[in-house]
Amino acid sequence: MQAAIDVQDQKQAFRNAMAAVPAPVHVITTDGVAGKGGITITAFTAITDEPPTVLVCLNKNSYAASLVLQNKHLAINTLHAEMTECAGRFAGIGKLSMPERFVHTEGWAPLKSGCPTLPEALAVFDCEVHRVEEMGTHYLIFCRVIETQDRSEQPGLLYHNRTYKKAV
């Protein structure tokens, strides 16, 4: 029994330490044969620029992860500091259906992959899924970037100590 408590303590300690690390906030969107969906994430990073490749980590239990894997495309929409409501909607706050999450923001526009992108996003990365690995509770999704857009110079939205904050 002691080992289980230690694992839980370790898990909580890890989560607390990660909460102390400020991270940019992104909404991942997808559309295709499996349907349209989106989710708020912070687990995204660049891998290489030759060829342009990024890594996105999604919980295996999320509805959006299933859609991304079936559609084989996703768009990463990096949010600016005034987009906390959008971040909350796609994080599941308010328990809106997937179609309702998209209705609350106007001007969605598809890029080459057909994935919807936010008109106000700081930056957008339109991607095709290249490779998927599994690690614990998450899928590690390696994506080839097929199009980018740098749209704004506003401060970014960060997630830090379990709350949204404005990057300075």
CATH of the domain at 94: 2.30.110.10
Q: What is the mean pLDDT of the chain?
A: 94
**CA–CA distance, 136 with 81 (Å, rounded to integer):** 31
Q: Provide the pLDDT for residue 6.
A: 83
Residue 16 lies in a domain: no
Confidence band (pLDDT; 50, 70, 90) for 156? very high
Question: Does residue 50 sit in helix, strand or coil?
Answer: coil
Pairing of strands 44-49, 52-59: antiparallel
Give the other-Cβ count within 10 Å of 124's Cβ. Answer: 23
* Amino acid letter for position 148: T
State the total domains in the chain: 1
Confidence band (pLDDT; 50, 70, 90) for 2? low
Q: Please tell me which residue, 18 or 168, carries the higher pLDDT value.
A: 18
* DSSP secondary structure code for residue 117 in this structure: E
For residue 3, pLDDT beyond 70 = no
- Which residue range(s) make up the domain with 151? 27-159
Residue 123 lies in a domain: yes
Residue 61 lies in a domain: yes
Q: Provide the pLDDT for residue 151.
A: 80
For residue 53, pLDDT beyond 70 = yes
* Amino acid letter for position 108: W
pLDDT in tens, 66-125: 999 999 999 999 999 999 999 999 999 999 999 999 998 888 999 999 999 998 999 999
Q: Which residues of 10-30 are buried (b: 16+ CB within 10 A; e: fewer)?
A: eeeeeeeeeeeeebbbbbbbb
Q: Provide the pLDDT for residue 100.
A: 93
Residue 8 lies in a domain: no
pLDDT in tens, 16-47: 999 999 999 999 999 999 999 999 999 999 99
